[in-house]
Structure 1
Amino acid sequence: MIPAGPVVLRPLAPTDAEAIVRACADPEIVRFLPRVPVPYTRDDALRYLEMAEEDWRSGGAAFAIADAVTGEWLGNIGLKPSRLRSTNEIGYLVAPWARGRGVATAAAAALAGWGFTHGVERVELLADVENLASQCVALAAGFRHEGVRRGAEQHRGGTRRDLVSFARLRGDSGERVTPFLPGFPGDSLTDGIVRLRTLTPADAADYLALQNLPDVVRYSVPPEPHSAEQVEERCRTAGANRLAGRGVEAVIMDAATGAFAGEIQLSNLIPPLGQAMTGYSLLPAFRGRGFTTRAVNLLVDWAFEHTPLSRIIAGTSPANVASQRVLERAGFTREALLRGLLPGPDGTRLDDLQWYRLRDAPLASRAFSRRRSGP
């Protein structure tokens, strides 16, 4: 047995079969573990127990994740060796009734440590690009983000899915990896008028319609329409990109109705400089109501409070007066006009009017900005 804080890793037993069957009916397990049969039966569970014994014979390891006090089955976890580059991979599932208690994090950290004491040099953990919970487990268990393996896993129906790759080496500290960009407190930001939340695949249709509006295309970089495939990719990877520190993609919503109103980003991060860029677009039906100014204030205030960022910049076309007014009301200061910075249509180059806001910007100017934005 391997002690792991609130749980213990113990040998699997035939008495675990019924609990395994109940857990494998969970939609999230079915969604992210394509090798789990549907429907999952007791015979499937018994075959899994046989396969676990085979894992031990082939140099791997397979455990039940169990309550440290009662011994109740809470999940499965295993370590499988790969002869390719002497890498071992952790795989696990946790029953829906055991989630939210740090079970997966404790088990993954403990099993990696156990592997290192048994001669393992490198342990990988792979998670579906949309499985943010598993990606958070990897970081919390001391695994470092390495990249995305495109189309690395065949899913149900024959489609291919991207996997996010994390790894721990024998010499790593194993300490929790804190994302540069944490999640929004309570999963959203709001001032009572607008609400921001992370972009998701469910937003693809609204996002596509927004990004292909003529005036949005005109001021995009580059100024080209988005394809459905591009938008689906952006929506699908937004959460994983935030955890990897690449940026934040958020939906602007009407707080009263929950309607999709627009989008806002924090991108082009340069951590050594403490700098990032913001950009945004809004549906015509919500313009003229201060929504964009409120969204910018919410996102920038969050960034200054919850990240090491000290400087947020933005760029506008010299002709985009509406966007310039948004930035002025949100406490940004005009900084420079960069000639020919941006790609334009048909090989032309466009000027970019740049703005900035600093972490220590005077509070009085921000309060004035909020009063002017209005509902």
Structure 2
Amino acid sequence: MIVATLSGPGVRLRGLAPRDVDDLVAGYADPVLQRFMPPLPVPFTHAQAREYVRDVAPGMFADGGGLWAIADPLTDRLLGGIGLDKVVPHRGQCEVGYWVGPWARGRGVAVAAVRTLTEHAFHTGMARIELLTHRENAPSQRVALAAGFRPEGVRRGVLPNRDGGRDDLLAYARLAGDEPGPTERLLPDLPGGELTDGVVTVRPLTSDDADFYAELHHLPEVVATAVPPIAPTAEDVVRRCAWAAAHWLAGERADMVITDAATGRNAGEIGLYYQEPRTGQAMIGYSMLRGWRERGFATRATQLVSLWAFAETGVARLIAGALPANLASQRVLEKAGFKREAYLRSRLPGGDGRRSDDVQYALLAEDLLADVVRLDG
């Protein structure tokens, strides 16, 4: 079978060949691929790789899809693989999947390959291409967005896993008529990966922060201000940290850790929740470990995140709330420039079936700009 060779920026898509067997085995031995490709046999042997090249790949073309090697255009070395599967001809619909070996990551290989293959698929009659990825697989979500795919929701229990259960997957799709270029993000990355004023640093929450997150969110006073006021389970903690990047990429919220700039020690957390993109309104919330309170860290972090939100996103108005008895949190907001706007009765679910009042504050972009101008003057 003759496989069409496709060229893209920094990649060449061609048929798999016997010379790819060693790299195929090395790539499939990667723990990341094994985690997010549960149908993959573990271990994946040279004999299985030869069968894959000889029988499996050609069979995908026979079924109306296709499987290409992602190769280096200069050396022809295997960098990864990409394929079209689950083809529904009468709908003009299929699914794209891909992998990149550890030796080729960080070079834009996956994005270039996905763009090249999807354009080829559109030119050969496809109208809609789906891309499914685990919520924990933020690099794959970045590829989807950079290749112009748009998020469409969650496919529940769509993929059998190695434990006998079924995994949810995030669904992305690109249509033949979509505008070219990457999908716009509501919440961009922090410039340089963090925000700092030299005293505090704010960085994204990651799966490595689970122990810190559990410690913080099991403090009684932190639980009392949570909505609802219930301590998270161990599973909740792991999920919150592991899914933080996905929520950020989806433009839903930016979960961050506040650290001491001098030592790098974790001091607290702060989050920006983009609950009203259409009106340009987002909400800020924060919590601090006991040893770091009353040192101005929460105020500094709130100012840093507010400046980033107004400068880098479509946010025009930030809101924050505090329980009436939480005077410390109210002082943080006032020092950060927020103005008290309302006292909302029984707004929040409380303990024992009761409800709690909420003191509402807001900060506008022009207010923060006026403060900066006044300080500069």
TM-score, normalized by the shorter chain, greater than 0.5: yes
Report the 3-state secondary structure (helix = DSSP H, G, I; strand = E; otherwise coil) of the residue aligned with 1:361. helix
Partner of 1:197: 203
Give yes or no for contact 2:71–2:79 (8 Å, CA) kept in 1. Answer: yes
1:65 to 52, 55, 70: 70
2:296 to 290, 298, 322: 290
Query: How far apart, CA to CA, are the structure 2 residues paired with 1:287 and 1:179?
Result: 34
Say yes or no: does 1:16 pair with 2:7.
no
Partner AA of 1:348 in structure 2? R
Provide the identity percentage.
50
Say yes or no: does 1:337 pair with 2:343.
yes
| Structure 1 residue 138 displacement after superposition | 0.5
Partner of 1:373: none
2:37 to 30, 33, 38: 33
Query: How far apart, CA to CA, are the structure 1 residues paired with 2:168 and 2:296?
Result: 38
Partner AA of 1:222 in structure 2? P
Relative to structure 1, the CA distance from residue 158 to residue 193 in structure 2 (aligned partners, 3 Å threshold; closer, same or farther) is: farther
- More displaced, 34-43 or 167-176? 34-43
Encode CA deviations 1:335-369: one digit per residue, 9 max, x unaligned.
12122222222333322111111112254635999
Give yes or no for contact 1:8–1:66 (8 Å, CA) kept in 2. Answer: yes
Partner of 2:226: 220
| Structure 1 residue 326 displacement after superposition | 0.6
Partner of 1:46: 50
Relative to structure 1, the CA distance from residue 248 to residue 157 in structure 2 (aligned partners, 3 Å threshold; closer, same or farther) is: same
Relative to structure 1, the CA distance from residue 259 to residue 158 in structure 2 (aligned partners, 3 Å threshold; closer, same or farther) is: farther
Partner of 2:312: 306
Give yes or no for contact 2:92–2:125 (8 Å, CA) kept in 1. Answer: no
Encode CA deviations 1:319-342: one digit per residue, 9 max, x unaligned.
111001111111111112122222
| Structure 1 residue 208 displacement after superposition | 2.2
Partner AA of 1:63 in structure 2? W
Say yes or no: does 1:7 pair with 2:16.
no
| Structure 1 residue 90 displacement after superposition | 0.7
Say yes or no: does 1:262 pair with 2:268.
yes
Report the 3-state secondary structure (helix = DSSP H, G, I; strand = E; otherwise coil) of the residue aligned with 2:352. helix
1:77 to 82, 86, 98: 82
Query: How far apart, CA to CA, are the structure 2 residues paired with 1:92 and 1:273?
Result: 37
2:133 to 80, 102, 127: 127
Give yes or no for contact 1:143–1:174 (8 Å, CA) kept in 2. Answer: no
1:315-330 maps to which residues of 2 (within 5 A)?
315-330=321-336
Partner AA of 1:24 in structure 2? Y
Query: How far apart, CA to CA, are the structure 1 residues paired with 2:306 and 2:68?
Result: 45
Encode CA deviations 1:266-299: one digit per residue, 9 max, x unaligned.
1142112111000011111111211111211121
Partner of 2:154: 148
Query: How far apart, CA to CA, are the structure 2 residues paired with 1:305 and 1:362?
Result: 11
Relative to structure 1, the CA distance from residue 176 to residue 362 in structure 2 (aligned partners, 3 Å threshold; closer, same or farther) is: closer
Encode CA deviations 1:220-259: one digit per residue, 9 max, x unaligned.
2222222222222222211111111111111222233333
Query: How far apart, CA to CA, are the structure 1 residues paired with 2:362 and 2:105?
Result: 42
Q: Gapped runs of 5+ residues in structure 1?
A: 370-375
Query: How far apart, CA to CA, are the structure 2 residues paired with 1:44 and 1:178?
Result: 40
Query: How far apart, CA to CA, are the structure 2 residues paired with 1:70 and 1:230?
Result: 46
Query: How far apart, CA to CA, are the structure 2 residues paired with 1:151 and 1:246?
Result: 22
Report the 3-state secondary structure (helix = DSSP H, G, I; strand = E; otherwise coil) of the residue aligned with 2:229. coil
| Structure 1 residue 318 displacement after superposition | 1.6
Paired residues, what number?
370
Give yes or no for contact 1:330–1:366 (8 Å, CA) kept in 2. Answer: no
Query: How far apart, CA to CA, are the structure 1 residues paired with 2:344 and 2:139?
Result: 42
Q: Gapped runs of 5+ residues in structure 2?
A: none
Relative to structure 1, the CA distance from residue 10 to residue 241 in structure 2 (aligned partners, 3 Å threshold; closer, same or farther) is: same
| Structure 1 residue 199 displacement after superposition | 1.8
Query: How far apart, CA to CA, are the structure 2 residues paired with 1:194 and 1:34?
Result: 41
Query: How far apart, CA to CA, are the structure 1 residues paired with 2:347 and 2:206?
Result: 31
With the length of structure 1 as denominator, give the TM-score of the two structures: 0.92
